[in-house]
Amino acid sequence: PTLEKLETLPRAWPPTVACLRFLAATAARSGEARFATWDEVDLETRTWTVPAERTKTKREHVVPLSTVALEALDVASLYSKSSNGSGPLFPSPTGKPLSNGAMSKITRPFEFTPHGLRASFRSWAAETGVPREVAEAALAHSAGALERAYQRSDLLAARREVMEAWSRHIS
């Protein structure tokens, strides 16, 4: 589904829709986005830094924020109840982080899961010739020990270009 279809859902809590748009635009894991806080976002550099303790690989992950991701944050900011930066990017109606159930409920009519957005990104990346290492870095997949020894760049500039192209594709 295109992102616009998500906007048509009746009675959808806007931060939930914004979180799905953010997930789609960043190819992040659902839990990383649902528990993200405002102090992890740097609007000046257009990045979101997922702390190591919240990543599957236990390594900090810097995510470039595309135009679509920033638009999702604009919507989410209207619902933020935190003034000190520690509150969730995408709050539930009670101000706590969104639940996995809330995310799944909203995607059910479209027959996809939040995690499926990552698979869609990876398929698109392969089909459009995105270098494997750039796609894998965007997904925060861990490289093997040998690859880590020789590839020390986070490929942020390349990932930024890819995520902007991906965002254009899904909008």
Tell how strand 41-42 and strand 47-50 pair up. Answer: antiparallel
Q: Quick check: is 159 catalytic?
A: no
Q: Quick check: is 79 catalytic?
A: no
Residue 60: name the closest of 45, 75, 73, 47 by CA. Answer: 47
Catalytic residue, chosen from 11, 108, 150, 152, is 150
Q: Quick check: is 160 catalytic?
A: no
Q: Quick check: is 150 catalytic?
A: yes
Catalytic residue, chosen from 141, 148, 168, 169, is 141
Gap between the Cα atoms of 41 and 112, Å rounded: 27
Distance of CA 98 to CAs 40, 89, 126, Å?
Answer: 17, 9, 31
Catalytic residue, chosen from 21, 54, 118, 122, is 118
Q: Which two tokens stand for residue 82?
A: 């935190």
The residues annotated with a catalytic role in the active site are: 29, 56, 115, 118, 141, 150
